[in-house]
C-alpha cells in the first residue's frame, strides 16, 4: 500500500534578527517545505496552537519575550508543543536553551551562532526525514486500525447471524435427544451426545467471538474499584464449584480505573482457572504489588500448568492447548485478557509448572 506523503514539511523560524531570518529562509528553501516566520515567542505560541502540522521549530533563545516566565510556562506546559522537535540557536557562551530552565518540548539539537549553512541544512534534513517517516507510520497505523475495525464488524455480523439459527438447532436437538426412542437405543444416545457436544462447542465459540468484537467498544468511564469486592461479585456470578476456593489478598488499595474492563480481565482469568483446575481441592490466589505507575496483579491456580513452550501461544487468538487428550475452550478468553491489558499500556505474562499450576501476571495502569 502506497503511503500518503504530507504536503509540506513546515518549519517555524522564531528570531527577531531580520537578516538572520532571511539567511535561514534562503538556506532552507526547498520543494515540499513551508517556512513560517515570526519575531516573538508569544506570536510563535499562537502559530503553533493554530497550525496542526509544524514539523520543526528553529528558535533564537535570545528573543526578549522568551525571558518572560509566562511565555516560558506556556511553552513548557502545552501538550501540542511537547512533540515538536526544536533546534535552539545559541550564542557561543550559552549553557542552556533558556535562562534558568529547559523547555520541555521535543528538543533534539541546537545550533551555535553564527550560522554554518551546511550544518544547519544537514540538521534540518535529518528532522525532515524523521518527520516524514513518522507521518508514514501514523498513516499506516491509522489504515491498519480502520481495516481491523472493519474486520471486527464483519466478524460480529457473521457471529450474530449464526447465533440465532444455531440456538434453534440446539433446542431441536435437545428435544430429539430426550425422546424415549433415542434414550432406549445406546448407540443413538451416544451419537446424539456427540452431536450435542459439537453444537454446544460451536455456540460457545460464537459467543466468544461476539465478546471479542465487543471488547473494544466497552465504556471508557473510570470509577473507584475495590478489588476484593469485585472478586467476590465475580465468584458468585461464575457459580464457583464447591471444591474450588478463591483467596484474595487484603492489601489492595482502592483503584480509580475502568471497572468494566478490569472486571472482564479478572473474569477471563478466573473462568480459565476454574475450567482447567483438575485437583480435588482447587485453589485460586489473587494478589499484587505496587509498581508505581502500574499495579502488578497475579492470579495463581493449582491446575495442570502449561508447558514452557506454550506460555506465549496461549495468549494468541483461537489457540487451545491439548489438556488430557482433548482441547477445551474457544481460545479467545486469554487473548481478550491480553488485549484489554495492553490497551492500558500494560503487559501480561505467565509462570507455570506442569502438574503444579500457573500464575498469570498483568500490569494495570493506576
CATH number at residue 227: 3.30.565.10
163 and 28: one domain?
Answer: no
Identify the pLDDT of residue 327.
Answer: 46
79 and 151: one domain?
Answer: no
357 and 231: one domain?
Answer: yes
322 and 229: one domain?
Answer: yes
pLDDT in tens, the chain (366 residues): 444 556 789 999 999 999 999 999 999 998 889 999 999 888 888 888 888 788 899 988 888 877 666 766 666 666 667 778 888 888 765 555 544 444 445 556 788 888 888 999 999 999 999 888 888 888 888 888 787 777 777 767 777 777 778 888 888 888 898 888 988 898 898 888 888 887 877 787 777 667 766 665 555 678 899 999 999 988 888 888 889 999 999 889 999 998 888 988 998 899 889 988 889 999 999 999 999 889 999 999 999 888 888 777 888 766 666 555 444 555 677 888 888 898 888 999 999 999 899 999 999 998
Total domains in the fold of the chain: 3
224 and 365: one domain?
Answer: yes
Q: Which helix (H) or strand (E) holds 148?
A: helix 117-178
Full residue range of the structural domain in which residue 164 is found: 141-217
Contacts (Cβ under 8 Å, ≥6 apart) of 209: 155, 156, 159, 330, 332
- Select from 217, 248, 273 the last residue of a domain: 217
156 and 243: one domain?
Answer: no
The residues facing 289 across adjacent strands are 296
Q: How many Cβ atoms sit within 10 Å of the Cβ of residue 157?
A: 11
Question: To 10 degrees, what angle do helices 18-28 and 117-178 make?
Answer: 60
Residue 325, sorted as left (phi over 0), alpha (psi -120 to 50) or beta, turns out to be: left
Amino acid at each position: 500500500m502506497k503511503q500518503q506523503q504530507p504536503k509540506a514539511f513546515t518549519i517555524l523560524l522564531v528570531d527577531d534578527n531580520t537578516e538572520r531570518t532571511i539567511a535561514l529562509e534562503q538556506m532552507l528553501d526547498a520543494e515540499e517545505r513551508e517556512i513560517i516566520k515570526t519575531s516573538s515567542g508569544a506570536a510563535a505560541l499562537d502559530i503553533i496552537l493554530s497550525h496542526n502540522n509544524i514539523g520543526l521549530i528553529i528558535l533564537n533563545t535570545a528573543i526578549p519575550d522568551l525571558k518572560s516566565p509566562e511565555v516560558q510556562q506556556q511553552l513548557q506546559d502545552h501538550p501540542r508543543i511537547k512533540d515538536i522537535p526544536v533546534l535552539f540557536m545559541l550564542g557561543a557562551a550559552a549553557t542552556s536553551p533558556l535562562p534558568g530552565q529547559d523547555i520541555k518540548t521535543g528538543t533534539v539539537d541546537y545550533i551555535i551562532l553564527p550560522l554554518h549553512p551546511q550544518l544547519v541544512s544537514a540538521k534540518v534534513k535529518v528532522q525532515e526525514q524523521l518527520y516524514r517517516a513518522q507521518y508514514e507510520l501514523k498513516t499506516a497505523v491509522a489504515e491498519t486500525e480502520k481495516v481491523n475495525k472493519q474486520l471486527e464488524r464483519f466478524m460480529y455480523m457473521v457471529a450474530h447471524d449464526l447465533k440465532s439459527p444455531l440456538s434453534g438447532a440446539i433446542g431441536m436437538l435437545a428435544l430429539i435427544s430426550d425422546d424415549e426412542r433415542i434414550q432406549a437405543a445406546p448407540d443413538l444416545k451416544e451419537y446424539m451426545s456427540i452431536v450435542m457436544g459439537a453444537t454446544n462447542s460451536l455456540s460457545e465459540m460464537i459467543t466468544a467471538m461476539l465478546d471479542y468484537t465487543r471488547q473494544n467498544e466497552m465504556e471508557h468511564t473510570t470509577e473507584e474499584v475495590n478489588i476484593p469486592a469485585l472478586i467476590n461479585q465475580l465468584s458468585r456470578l461464575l457459580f464457583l464449584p464447591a471444591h474450588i476456593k478463591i483467596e484474595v489478598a487484603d492489601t489492595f488499595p482502592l483503584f480509580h480505573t475502568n471497572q468494566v474492563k478490569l472486571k472482564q480481565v479478572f473474569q477471563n482469568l478466573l473462568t480459565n482457572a476454574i475450567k482447567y483446575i483438575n485437583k480435588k481441592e482447587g485453589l485460586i490466589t489473587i494478589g499484587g504489588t505496587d509498581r508505581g505507575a502500574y499495579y502488578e496483579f497475579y492470579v495463581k491456580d493449582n491446575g495442570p500448568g502449561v508447558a514452557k513452550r506454550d506460555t506465549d501461544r496461549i495468549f494468541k487468538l483461537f489457540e487451545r492447548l491439548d489438556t488430557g487428550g482433548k482441547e477445551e475452550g474457544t481460545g479467545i478468553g486469554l487473548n481478550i485478557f491480553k488485549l484489554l491489558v495492553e490497551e492500558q499500556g500494560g503487559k501480561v505474562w505467565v509462570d507455570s509448572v506442569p502438574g503444579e499450576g500457573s500464575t498469570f501476571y498483568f500490569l494495570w495502569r493506576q
